[in-house]
Amino acid sequence: MQTFGQQLVNGLSLGSIYALLALGYTMVYGIIKLINFAHGDIYMLGAFWGYYSLRAFHFNFLMALCSAMVVCAVLGVVIEYFAYRPLRHSPRITALITAIGVSFLLENGMSALVGANARSFPQALPVVTYHWLGIRVSNIQLLILITACLLMALLELIIKRTKMGKAMRAVSVDPEAAQLVGINLNHTISFTFALGSAMAGAAGVLIGLYYNSIDPLMGMTPGIKAFVAAVIGGIGSVPGASLGGFIIGILETGVQAVGLSAYKDAVVYFVLIVILLVMPAGIFGHNRREKV
């Protein structure tokens, strides 16, 4: 029971990171039907921004987090503008391959720029560990969980209540009709990239704090796992992405806890295969009938 509780806490912390990342995948897919494979690298850039802002500019944690979100939002918009927008009317596979190319560019670009070696993330906050019913919870874990939940609540609010959020939903269900009511497609898509990338930037800073180690290739595996999380939750669904993220996080720590650490990645992909077989649209996805 104690182990179970402990793993649940660990899983929720890791899961929040995946959830934040999965939101970006799902929103971008929802609006332009593109799997943005460079999304994990935005998260890496967020972590590096956090690293430099804490070390060189002596930002405090909150400033590092917020500035990383802003920087990543801008990067996301720039990437969409230069890499994806010119391909808006190309076949989907073209944009997909471009996304993989952008991902390689960011990974290798950063390796060339700062070196490929891992570096330790500055401890912005002193670590305090609480003991509760035999479960160890660090303040960092709580911080990750709370920050992630606040950001998800904020995102939900933006999507549900604001005009831009409603425009995002309108564009994602019917881009043509959205233009006919005067919604600017490009602005809405940029806005979506900004939101998703900001979430990834926040996740990058949080993971730096949690794992203490960052490197230019750190976005690859979490990026793919967050993508799996988005698929499990139902790609295009915002609550689905959050839930999927937590499921993947708990699953991964759970597998490690029972002594199958070597299989932790394999299990995630196994679950993906099972989900695709039994409910291809994911947990919150719905199969939309094609209208003729």
DSSP alpha helix (H) spans, the chain? 2-32, 39-55, 61-79, 92-114, 139-161, 163-173, 175-180, 185-211, 220-233, 238-257, 264-278
Q: How far is the CB of 162 from other proteins (least distance, A)?
A: 11
Q: How far is the CB of 233 from other proteins (least distance, A)?
A: 16
Q: Output DSSP code: residue 283.
A: S
Q: Closer to other proteins at the Cβ: 144 or 195?
A: 195
Q: Closer to other proteins at the Cβ: 102 or 159?
A: 159
Q: Output DSSP code: residue 86.
A: G
Q: Are 28 and 34 in contact (CB under 8 A)?
A: yes
Q: How far is the CB of 182 from other proteins (least distance, A)?
A: 4
Interaction site with other proteins (CB under 8 A): 163, 166-167, 169-170, 173-174, 176-184, 291
Q: Closer to other proteins at the Cβ: 30 or 254?
A: 30
Distance (Å) of CA 32 to CA 4, 135, 180, 181? 40, 43, 17, 18
Q: Closer to other proteins at the Cβ: 155 or 178?
A: 178
Q: How far is the CB of 185 from other proteins (least distance, A)?
A: 8
Reduced to 3 states (helix: H, G, I; strand: E, B; else coil), residue 214 is strand
Q: Closer to other proteins at the Cβ: 33 or 55?
A: 33
Q: How far is the CB of 79 from other proteins (least distance, A)?
A: 23
Q: Closer to other proteins at the Cβ: 174 or 274?
A: 174
Ramachandran quadrant class, 212 (left: phi over 0; alpha: psi -120 to 50; beta: rest)? left
Distance (Å) of CA 140 to CA 15, 136, 144, 145, 215? 14, 12, 6, 9, 20
Token code pair at residue 125: 């906050």
Q: How far is the CB of 264 from other proteins (least distance, A)?
A: 36
Reduced to 3 states (helix: H, G, I; strand: E, B; else coil), residue 34 is coil
CA nearest to 95, candidates 142, 28, 155, 156: 28
Q: How far apart are CA 224 and CA 17, in angstroms?
A: 13
Q: Closer to other proteins at the Cβ: 171 or 229?
A: 171
CA nearest to 223, candidates 2, 45, 18: 18
Q: How far is the CB of 283 from other proteins (least distance, A)?
A: 17
